[in-house]
Amino acid sequence: MMNRSHTCGELRAHHVGQEVTLTGWVAVHRDMGAFRFIDLRDRYGTTQVRFENDATLVDASGILRPEWVVAVRGVVRHRGTNSNLQLPTGEVEVEATAFDVLNTADVPKFPIRDDVDANEDLRLAWRFLDLRRRPLQRNIVMRAEVTHSVRSFLVDEGFLELETPILTKSTPEGARDYLVPSRVHPGEFYALPQSPQLFKQLFMVAGYDRYYQIARCFRDEDLRADRQPEFTQIDLEVSFATPELLFDLCERLIARLWREQRGVELPLPFPRMGYAEAMLRYGIDRPDLRFGLEIVDCTALAADADFSVFSSAAQEAGMAVRGLRLPGAGSWSRKQIDACASLAAARGAKGLAWAKVSAEGWQGPVAKFFSADETLRWQTHMGAGEGDLLLWVADKVSTVCAALADLRKHAGESLGLVDNDAWRFVWITDFPLLDWDEEAQRWVAMHHPFTSPHPQDVAKLQSAPGEVRAQAYDLVLNGFELGGGSIRIHDRAIQSALFERLGIGSEEAEAKFGFLLRALRHGAPPHGGLAFGLDRIVMLLAGATSLRDVIAYPKTASASCLLTEAPSAVDTDQLRELGLALCSEEP
């Protein structure tokens, strides 16, 4: 076989006259009469190869088919007036003098081209072909570059890349674990890690003060476009850390990635916003700050309204009346407004009140409940003017937030207010430590049970758990959570108190987390960390719309691999060896 001298994306005008050897896949084969041409492709680019029809190579070149693997030796020639300046290699071509078919190929299941319109399931089933397309190649190469850059940055900052176990202990306090049965210990199971959380904390106790890992993690949860059952984290932990130290470190890392991959200089430091403020202004803890449309709290104003839906909600604990002003949306049709009502209903809202602001007053179902003076007062409160559309939700605070957050996003996109070229980062801080689970009727950790409460709030763990703030923080970009972390609990007494508040008794705590509690008795330093979603970062850098576009071998929304047809049944002998039997019916 001929050894490659150059890649298919390398040749330029200064190579003219040189003898070169290229290897790759036939992308296009053209018969132009006196000459035959192929576009030879590899992951670096495409180069045109020319064969003379009266040359001894004609027979070989005449039978070429797309995706055959070939090697070509020849001389680089300038294409002159036939140059294709759309391609980096477009000024030159290779005049073939030797040629070898290294392998043939079946007809591809879909065309291997950038703008292919094939069904995604088909492309996933034939992923090795899909990965030849340039858009996916760019994404996968970018992912490798990002990973390399992260490693380089963190090593320069004194971090050690340390590995943590993949087979570990099940501690079901978050999403469902993927369980792995043990053959050696019948009836017992490992779990695949949802994160390296506890092990990286143990590294801090062990004295490895700056840890990082490009960590594979697994969560058995419902999927959507930006989630996968297995995913990759940029995981880090620092001893003697403060939030300020971690913010500075992470901002410089993110700024480096955006500089290298997008040529963008991000202004530092990133702005910060408390969780309570984010929920009040945007209804969500990962707000998209590329546009305004802030939520307006109308609860106090609604207490005296003649509209009972508003007044009753305003006077009941745990309820709120909040709204949105949509500038210029007074021209929206009833169909468009009904679509908004459907969005609110999908979030549990019992209804959506609305009014169009016109020169003659309000128009809409609620207009009759408001006098001219009241409409003026409400318009002033919401900053509304003629031609605007006003939307309100009156319900439980959580429902109001969820409904208006979705409506805000929908309206921002529909009104063309989203600046798609903007990068709006924000740190969300001061999350509640605990959240009340109505179904289980108990307090649960909003992040995880190893997050430290604010020092001044520790005393409230027993008396007012809902008021305890966490030393937790998320980095949000354009409505996406890039990553999150916290200062951890390093005091055994506080960790035990939090377990107790979560309904985890001392015996259960010892059984599940005894190794951590023992470590906290042996000189655990203050520490904190963060995990970024590598898949999501690359998705945003690449301008992709789905994580599947930046993962080489992703799963579908049903957690299936169409390429390998996993998950699949296993032999009964394997089950027997593990001491397992399948139930014929669900319990």
Q: Which two tokens stand for residue 93?
A: 């071509």
Query: In terms of domains, do 251 and 322 share one?
Result: no
Q: Which residue has the tokens 């009964």?
A: 572
CA distance 257 to 153: 10
What CATH number is associated with residue 545?
3.30.930.10
Q: What is the pLDDT of residue 333?
A: 96
Contact 287, 351 (CB under 8 A): no
Q: Which two tokens stand for residue 190?
A: 């490992």
In order, the DSSP letters of 559-578 are S-BTTTTBS----HHHHHHT
In order, the DSSP letters of 181-202 are E-SSSTT-EEE--S-SHHHHHH
**Would you call 554 exposed, middle or buried from its count of C-beta atoms within 10 A (0-12, 13-18, 19+)?**
buried
Tell whether 562 is covered by a domain. Answer: no
Angle at CA of residue 453, ends 451 and 456, nearest 5°: 165
Query: In terms of domains, do 30 and 147 share one?
Result: no
Query: In terms of domains, do 337 and 306 share one?
Result: yes
Tell whether 73 is covered by a domain. Answer: yes
Domain termination residue (choose one: 372, 391, 418): 418
Q: What is the pLDDT of residue 64?
A: 79
Q: SS3 for 405?
A: helix
* DSSP letter (8 states) at residue 431: -
Q: Which residue has the tokens 């960390």?
A: 529
Q: What is the pLDDT of residue 575?
A: 93
Tell whether 286 is covered by a domain. Answer: no
Query: In terms of domains, do 146 and 267 share one?
Result: yes
What CATH number is associated with residue 344?
3.30.1360.30
Rounded-to-10 torsion of CA 172, 175, 179, 185: -10
Q: SS3 for 549?
A: helix
What sign results for the dihedral spanned by CA atoms 201, 202, 207, 208?
Answer: negative
CA distance 275 to 471: 11
| Burial call 116-140: b when 16+ CB within 10 Å, e when fewer | eebeeeebbbbbebbbbbebbbbbb
The H helix count followed by the E strand count for the chain is 17, 22
pTM over 0.75: yes
Query: In terms of domains, do 266 and 142 share one?
Result: yes
Count of residues in the chain: 587
Q: What is the pLDDT of residue 54?
A: 59
Q: What is the pLDDT of residue 35?
A: 86
Q: Which residue has the tokens 């081209």?
A: 113
Q: Which two tokens stand for residue 510?
A: 């010892």
Tell whether 324 is covered by a domain. Answer: yes
What sign results for the dihedral spanned by CA atoms 434, 437, 440, 445?
Answer: negative
Q: Which two tokens stand for residue 101?
A: 């078919």
Name 92's bridge partners: 78
Separation in Å, CA 289 to CA 165, 420, 564: 38, 11, 41
Q: What is the pLDDT of residue 224?
A: 67
* DSSP letter (8 states) at residue 367: G
Q: SS3 for 337?
A: helix
CA distance 7 to 94: 12
Query: In terms of domains, do 265 and 345 share one?
Result: no
Q: Which two tokens stand for residue 343?
A: 């969005």
| Burial call 91-109: b when 16+ CB within 10 Å, e when fewer | bbbbbbeebeeeeeeeebe
Rounded-to-10 torsion of CA 241, 244, 246, 250: -170
Evaluate the omega torsion of the peptide bond into residue 567 and state whether it is cis, within 30 degrees of 0.
yes
Enumerate residues 6+ apart whose C-beta is below 8 A from 65: 26, 29, 104, 105, 107
Q: Name which of 534, 525, 536 is nearest 212 in CA terms.
A: 534
Other Cβ atoms less than 10 A from the Cβ of 443: the count is: 19
The helix or strand, by DSSP H or E, that contains position 42, with its residue range, turns out to be strand 35-42
CA distance 274 to 278: 6
Query: In terms of domains, do 412 and 438 share one?
Result: no
Tell whether 220 is covered by a domain. Answer: yes
CA distance 308 to 570: 61
What is the CA 63 to chain-centroid distance, rounded?
Answer: 45
Enumerate residues 6+ apart whose C-beta is below 8 A from 15: 6, 76, 92
Contact 453, 504 (CB under 8 A): no
Query: In terms of domains, do 445 and 349 share one?
Result: no
Query: In terms of domains, do 512 and 386 share one?
Result: no
Contact 203, 179 (CB under 8 A): no
Domain termination residue (choose one: 376, 401, 418): 418
Amino acid at the residue 262: R
Task: State the residue range of the domain holding 56.
Answer: 13-103
Query: In terms of domains, do 313 and 334 share one?
Result: yes
* DSSP letter (8 states) at residue 451: B
Number of domains present in the structure of the chain: 3
Q: What is the pLDDT of residue 586?
A: 58
Q: SS3 for 218?
A: strand
Over its C-alpha atoms, the chain yields an Rg (Å, rounded) of: 30
Q: Name which of 387, 367, 391 is nearest 293 in CA terms.
A: 391
What CATH number is associated with residue 42?
2.40.50.140
Query: In terms of domains, do 352 and 401 share one?
Result: yes
Q: SS3 for 71?
A: strand
Tell whether 213 is covered by a domain. Answer: yes
The helix or strand, by DSSP H or E, that contains position 180, with its residue range, turns out to be strand 179-181
Q: What is the pLDDT of residue 557?
A: 87
pLDDT in tens, the chain (587 residues): 789 999 999 999 999 999 999 999 999 988 887 788 999 999 999 999 998 875 556 455 556 789 999 999 999 999 999 999 999 999 999 999 998 999 999 999 999 999 998 999 999 999 999 999 999 999 999 999 999 999 999 999 999 999 999 999 997 666 789 999 999 999 999 999 999 999 999 999 999 999 999 999 999 987 665 679 999 999 999 999 999 999 999 999 999 999 999 999 999 999 999 999 999 999 999 999 999 999 999 999 999 999 999 999 999 999 999 999 999 999 999 999 999 999 999 999 999 999 999 999 999 999 999 999 999 999 999 999 999 999 999 999 999 999 999 999 999 999 999 999 999 999 999 999 999 988 889 999 999 999 999 999 999 998 999 999 999 999 999 999 999 999 999 999 999 999 999 999 999 999 999 999 999 999 999 999 999 999 999 999 999 989 999 999 999 988 999 999 999 999 999 999 999 999 865 55
Domain termination residue (choose one: 349, 383, 418): 418
Tell whether 96 is covered by a domain. Answer: yes
Q: What is the pLDDT of residue 173?
A: 60
Q: Name which of 533, 439, 484 is nearest 285 in CA terms.
A: 484
Query: In terms of domains, do 466 and 524 share one?
Result: yes
Q: What is the pLDDT of residue 55?
A: 54
Tell whether 298 is covered by a domain. Answer: yes
Q: What is the pLDDT of residue 57?
A: 60
Q: What is the pLDDT of residue 65?
A: 87
Q: SS3 for 540?
A: helix
Q: Name which of 168, 169, 151 is nearest 160 in CA terms.
A: 151
Amino acid at the residue 264: V
